[in-house]
Structure 1
Amino acid sequence: MLYIVLPAYNEAAALPNLLEDIAQNCAPIPHQIVVVNDGSSDRTQEVVDKYAMTHKNVHKVNHDQNQGLGAALNSGFQYVLNYNQTQGHLSENTGYKEQEVTDMLITMDADNTHPANCIPLLCEAICSGADLVIASRYVQGGEQHGLSLGRKVLSWGAGKVMHYFLPIAGVRDYSCGYRAYRLSILAEGTRIYGPNIIKSQNFSGMVELLLKVAPLAELVTEVPLKLHYELKVGASKMRIGATIWGYIQLIYQTKRKRWSTVEWVEE
């Protein structure tokens, strides 16, 4: 079973197109979609409720207040792990050979900047033996459009700095949140680090998650991503200064092996 977790904060304008795009690209793949409404003040909750009425594979997790990307992902992961354990796995006649199907989870942004046509590539890589797959802007075939110079420098620089201090074989794009995980890897990660596996309250949480689960994976790989940030509706929610400081904390605590003692910076 494929689980897709979408952390959403004020994404009412983008979600309908994204959900339809996912439905089209994942038609032959048995999948469940979990939208984590992270205290949105717009119509995000209404949009998800309406879509779920006609699509039984769409689930909603609701935060009464905005808690940040890391908390939204933590909630999504716990929902999926509990659902997977209690509800079983595959429906019949999916079109996939039994031996090709495995439990996996994909995270992607809910702002419509991550194209859903990359999902089959991520699934194929997991089914072929990878434990963690990153949709990468920095491999052959990868591109990024519509990003400000500051965001481009931040993403590129974060990858270079992390690769120097905390190298992970097979990884160039450390900060992109469009990834596929074999579900057993996330289950083991939450067993080790607890249900709140991501402690960071800013966008550096994606790097934190990568640093925690990559050592549990036998094979980490990347597939090309064509990122179109110009399709984003609304202003960016990333605070560059807080994110940079979060990266510095990650390097420090990883080197010191003190995951639980560093005070995490807020957005």
Structure 2
Amino acid sequence: MLYIVLPAYNEDQALAELLEDIRTNCAQIPHQIVIVNDGSTDRTFDIVQQYTQDYNNIHGVNHEQNKGLGAAINSGFQYVLNHSYLIKDHDKKNCENKICPDIVITMDADNTQPANCIPLLYEEICSGSDLVIASRYVQGGEQHGLSLGRRGLSWGAGKVMQLFAPIKGVRDYSCGYRAYRLKLLAEGTRQYGPDIIVSRNFSGMVELLLKIAPFAERITEVPLKLHYELKKGASKMRIWATIWGYFQLIYQLKRNKWSTVEWAEE
């Protein structure tokens, strides 16, 4: 079974379009969608409720207050880990004569990451990868609509992490559009607890990668065409808080301590 986790904060202008895009691109893949409404102040919660009523493969998790991207991802993972065995329709799709494992995909809910990448991520896991990243930095990858500062931050984060924490097969450290074998997340949860991401800013996706990667035998990337110009509404990323988060990650890596730092607010 494929589980798609969507952390959503004030995405009422984009969420419905994304869900329809996912439905179109995943028509041949048995899938469940878990939307985590992270304390939105617009109509996101209402949209989630409507879709969960209309579609039995869409599930909602609600945060009464905004807790940040990392907490939303944590809640989505825990929902999947706690409910996957309860889902009756557990037929697995054959991929090249192999039975596909349970897979979790995370992606942004702002419709800037195209759903047509989901089948690529899915097939890559079915072909033997444990973790797959939709990457802007492999052949065929592109990014459009990002400011020079955002481009520099993502590129610089990758270069810094390649220096301090190289992971074979990884160029795009910060993109959260990824596919994981469910057992990989289960192992990460056993090691770090249910709140596997501690960071309260966008560096949390790098933190998650660094924690999960040691349990993966094979990590690969597929090309991503990011279209940030399609985003409706203001960006939620605070660049300086995210940069400070990267420095905190490096600090913790050097001391091998994941819970001793007071994380910067998002």
Normalising by structure 2, we get a TM-score of 0.97
What corresponds to 1:263 in structure 2?
A: 262
Aligned partners of 1:116, 1:21: CA distance in 2, in Å? 6
8 Å Cα contact 1:28/1:95 also seen in 2: no
Aligned partners of 1:201, 1:95: CA distance in 2, in Å? 38
Aligned partners of 1:79, 1:162: CA distance in 2, in Å? 30
Could you give the per-residue CA deviations for residues 79-131 of structure 1, whole angstroms, max 9, x where no partner exists?
00001133356248x67688332101000000000100000000000000000
- How is 1:28-67 mapped onto 2 (pairs within 5 angstroms)? 28-67=28-67
2:176 is aligned with 1:177: yes
Letter in 2 for 1:60: G
8 Å Cα contact 1:134/1:222 also seen in 2: yes
What corresponds to 1:238 in structure 2?
A: 237
8 Å Cα contact 2:107/2:176 also seen in 1: yes
Aligned partners of 1:256, 1:96: CA distance in 2, in Å? 42
Q: SS at the partner of 1:84?
A: helix
Letter in 1 for 2:19: L
2:90 is aligned with 1:84: no
Aligned partners of 1:34, 1:7: CA distance in 2, in Å? 8
Aligned partners of 1:143, 1:248: CA distance in 2, in Å? 27
Q: SS at the partner of 2:20?
A: helix
Aligned partners of 2:200, 2:140: CA distance in 1, in Å? 32
Aligned partners of 1:88, 1:248: CA distance in 2, in Å? 44
2:89 is aligned with 1:70: no
2:149 is aligned with 1:150: yes
2:247 is aligned with 1:248: yes
Could you give the per-residue CA deviations for residues 197-247 of structure 1, whole angstroms, max 9, x where no partner exists?
000000000000000000100000000000000000100000000000000
Q: SS at the partner of 1:139?
A: coil
Aligned partners of 1:58, 1:186: CA distance in 2, in Å? 21
Structure 1 residues 96 and 222: alpha-carbon distance in aligned structure 2, compared to 1, 3 A threshold: closer
2:176 is aligned with 1:160: no
Cα RMSD (Å) of the superposition? 1.3
Normalising by structure 1, we get a TM-score of 0.97
8 Å Cα contact 2:2/2:103 also seen in 1: yes
Bigger mean CA deviation after superposition, 233-242 or 82-91: 82-91
Could you give the per-residue CA deviations for residues 29-53 of structure 1, whole angstroms, max 9, x where no partner exists?
0100000000000000111111122
**Identity %, equivalent residues:** 73
Letter in 1 for 2:218: L
8 Å Cα contact 1:176/1:206 also seen in 2: yes
Gaps of 5+ in 2: none
What corresponds to 2:4 in structure 1?
A: 4
Aligned partners of 2:158, 2:131: CA distance in 1, in Å? 17
Q: SS at the partner of 1:56?
A: coil
Could you give the per-residue CA deviations for residues 171-222 of structure 1, whole angstroms, max 9, x where no partner exists?
0000000000000000000000000000000000000000000010000000
Aligned partners of 1:166, 1:107: CA distance in 2, in Å? 22
What corresponds to 1:100 in structure 2?
A: 99
Gaps of 5+ in 1: none
Bigger mean CA deviation after superposition, 97-106 or 123-132: 97-106
State the 1:15 CA deviation. Answer: 0.3
